Amino acid sequence: MCEMADEALSRIPDDQLFYQRKIRRRAKQAVDADKKRTESLKKQRQEQQICNQCRLPMVVRTNSKTKQKFWGCSNFPRCRSTKSYE
């Protein structure tokens, strides 16, 4: 695929500029996506809950019956501590 692109560039020099812009735009998109990922990670950390009983991080679980989310201790089933998600 890269070989084909190189060939097209050598044949049509005017296209080179367009191609370079395309690459730059794609690079910017990659940076933006990376930024978004970092932000969502930060948000996750902010929302991290610690169990009151054993001080281990809690994980989001979903009630299989009500489909409601809640925080459950990662030490489950040894620790059954939970917190409401909201």
Q: Binding residues for Zn ion, per CB under 5 A?
A: 51, 53-54, 73, 75, 79, 81
Query: What is the 8-class DSSP label of residue 53?
Result: T
Take residue 26 and report the two structure tokens written for it.
């794609």
Q: How far is the CB of 72 from Zn ion (least distance, A)?
A: 9
- Which of 9/79 has CB closer to Zn ion? 79
Q: How far is the CB of 44 from Zn ion (least distance, A)?
A: 19
Q: Which amino acid is at 75?
A: N
Return phi, psi of residue 66, to 5°. Answer: -90, -10
Task: Measure the CA angle with vertex 53, ends 51 and 54; round to 5°.
Answer: 75
- Which of 9/56 has CB closer to Zn ion? 56
Strands 82-84 and 69-73: antiparallel
- Which of 49/75 has CB closer to Zn ion? 75
Q: Which amino acid is at 68?
A: Q
Q: How far is the CB of 54 from Zn ion (least distance, A)?
A: 4
